[in-house]
Each structure stands twice: as structure tokens, then as C-alpha cells.
Amino acid sequence: MAMRFAAFLLAALSALAQGPPGVTPAWELKKQLDGLVAQTRRLTPLLEEVKAQDWEAATYREQHKAAKEQVEYLARSTAALARDPEKMTLALDAFLRLEALEKLFDSLSEGVRRYQNPALADLMQAALSENSAHRAKLQNYLVELVTTKQDELRVANDEAESCRAAALNPSASKRPAANTKKP
């Protein structure tokens, strides 16, 4: 009996450590986010080679500055998500920052191709495409998290409805169970 209880307790603790079912465990998410940040930080040396201040188009200068800032914002956003992996707003923020960085980087690489060096633009596009696996993992995590939270909300709502019904009609909850045995 004690062995069964110990096995049950071990299984329950293991399930709690993994987080809600259907969601990537926190330790795995942290590993994925670390990979995303490391890959994103590889964009910084490429951004340093961009000489947007020498170009005619002011828009590219603004994009260059914004792209550098987005690298840092993304690092902070993913660090916050790693600390609190069940918070949907943090997951959404990280995903949207990654998406914004990708769009800025893509546009900026077109400016590099036009005003500076097509080879550098190709390097920028290659570095950006290397981030696609991390982007997909983050997107999948976001979908898993939202789905799980929706399910939890549905269960909580159903339970609240049941409690409200019992509170409004107390005689229904005190009735004896119907005899289901057949004579």
C-alpha cells in the first residue's frame, strides 16, 4: 500500500513539474528561448556592418536603429517568459517582438542590397532564415498555451455554472440519488 502511494505521489509530482498537459515543459521552453536569443544575437554583428547613416533614405536609418533595439527587447521579453512561462501576455509579447524584428531585418536587408552590398544582404537573409525553427517553436508554444488556458477557463466556467445552479436551487442538490437497479 505504501509503495502504491509513493508511486502515485511520484507521478503526481512529476506531472506538476512538467506544467499543464499539452504545454511544452518550462525547462524545455527555457532551452528553446535560450536558442532563440543566441540566434538573434548573431544578427547584431550583421547590423553593425550596416552603414544606413550613409544612405539617402531616412527610413532605413530609422529601421536600422529600431532593429538594434528589437534585438534587446526580444532578449528581455524571452527572459521574462522563461521566468513565468504560463503568462500568455509574455508569450505573445515575445512572439510579436520576434515578428517585428524579422520584418525590420527583412526590409533593412533590402536597403543593404540596394545601397550598400548585396553579399551582406544575402548574409542577413540567411541569418534570418536560421531563426525560422525558433520562430515555429515559439509560435507552437503560444498556441499550446492559449489552448490550455482556454480549456482551463472552460472547466472553471462549467464548475462555476454548476455551483450557481446548486446555490439557486438547493433542493435539487439534496435529493437522494435515483435507484438505478432494475428489479
Residue, of 149 and 5, whose pLDDT is higher: 149
Binned at pLDDT 50, 70 and 90, residue 179 comes out as low
Highest mean pLDDT among 138-142, 149-153, 162-166: 138-142
Q: What is the Cα–Cα distance from 36 to 41, expressed in whole angstroms? A: 9
What's the domain count of the chain? 1
Closest of 91, 51, 44 to residue 67, by C-alpha: 44
> 111 is in which domain, residue-wise?
25-155
Q: What is the mean pLDDT of residues 118-137?
A: 91
**pLDDT at residue 7 greater than cutoff 50:** no
Q: Identify whether 144 is part of a domain.
A: yes
Percent pLDDT > 70 in the chain is 81
pLDDT at 176: 54
In a domain, 172, yes or no: no
Whole-number pLDDT of residue 5: 39
6 or 77: which leads in pLDDT = 77
Domain-embedded: residue 175: no
In a domain, 174, yes or no: no
The verdict on residue 178 lying in a domain is: no
pLDDT-based confidence at residue 3 (cuts at 50, 70, 90): very low
Residue 74 within a domain: yes
Q: In whole numbers, what is the pLDDT of the chain averaged over residues?
A: 82
Q: How many other β-carbons are positioned within 10 Å of the β-carbon of residue 153?
A: 10
- Write down the pLDDT at residue 152: 86
Biggest CA pair distance of the chain? 94
C-beta of residue 124 within 8 angstroms of C-beta of residue 46: yes
CATH code at 126? Answer: 1.20.120.230
Mean pLDDT of 20-36: 81
What whole-number distance in Å separates Cα of residue 130 and Cα of residue 35? 11
Residue among 130, 138, 131 nearest 88 (CA): 138
Q: Which of 151, 156, 124 is nearest to 47 (CA)?
A: 124
pLDDT digits (tens, 9 = 90+) for 166-177: 888 877 555 555
Neighbours of 141 (CB within 10 A): 21
